[in-house]
Amino acid sequence: MNILKLIPALLITAVSIAPNDADTALRDAAADHISTGRVSVSSQSMGVSLLDEIHIGEIPLMTPEGIMELDEYVFGVLLGELPYTFDADTFAAQAVAARSYCLYCSDRGMTIQCAYDTPEALAADYGDEYARASVEAARRAVESTADIIAVYDGEPISALWHSSSYGWTESSVNVWGGEFDYLVQVPTYENGDFLWSSAEFDLYEVYNRLYEAGYYYNMEENLILTRVSGRCDSLTIGSVTLTGVEARTIFGLKSTDFSARFESGRLIFEVAGYGHGVGMSQYGAEWLARAGYDWQSILLHYYPGSEIIKW
């Protein structure tokens, strides 16, 4: 299903929406930041018993902390990835993406590394009310999508996701060199202050960061930035040339969709989006969900050519 055929006015309205403030910032994105810690899907402190209420898949998974059942892990991923204020269809799309990604990794004997959380940790960080609401949103998403995954050519997809992108997502081949027919650039629609960030460094900070990464910087204020698909492909700073991914890592930028300039002896980055940009944008999914599109349409938009099936 081509979502652009369903929403002919979407491109026009997307660029004219005024920014708003997100209720809760996303904390992690798959394959972009790794959290570890064992998932426990019950909370005595909140009087919530989850294992009897949610569908638990029978597929054992190898996680950073050991063996865990599929939907037990998916439940924890939802707690770690989305604020409870997000739409139910965003939660459902994330549940199917996480389940598909887990099975993709499991089929290849890969250890699954996604951000995930526990009810106890949420209660400690944000309070019992937030944790209860998050538990309920995650439980509904796991139950409503039980046994459902996204496949390509009959195989579970590597359903990567990230927090946000500006205008377009990124192709996997431009980030890691691995080409997947369903991990290609697609338009994405999102708005808000969360989309923008900046960072700046004086020349000595630039020198030290590059030195720690194994590069010698000659302290010259010369910049050459090249782009592929709108994101930084390479960045030359004086005597040092970096890939966009290297520059993002060395300077702690939120994405490779950035501009750079020297000003008054400081290197200044202006950054759009958060994450590697591949696959489903969580804020983009939320935008579509609030525009009235169901989780199936969201998944088929961000993973074009895939199919949604019961396994």
Sequence ranges of the domains in the chain: 3-192+277-310, 194-272
Residues in the chain predicted with pLDDT less than 70, given as ranges, are: 1-68
**pLDDT for 170:** 96
- Give pLDDT, residue 193: 83
Q: Are β-strands 155-156 and 48-49 bridged in parallel, bridged antiparallel, or unpaired? A: unpaired
CB atoms within 10 A of CB 164: 29
CB-CB contact of 131 with 122 (8 Å): yes
3-class SS of residue 226 = strand
pTM for the model: 0.79
According to DSSP, residue 275 is labeled S
Distance CA 297, CA 282 (A): 14
pLDDT in the model for residue 231: 96
**Number of separate helices (H) and strands (E) present in the chain:** 11, 15
| Residue-level pLDDT at 267 | 98
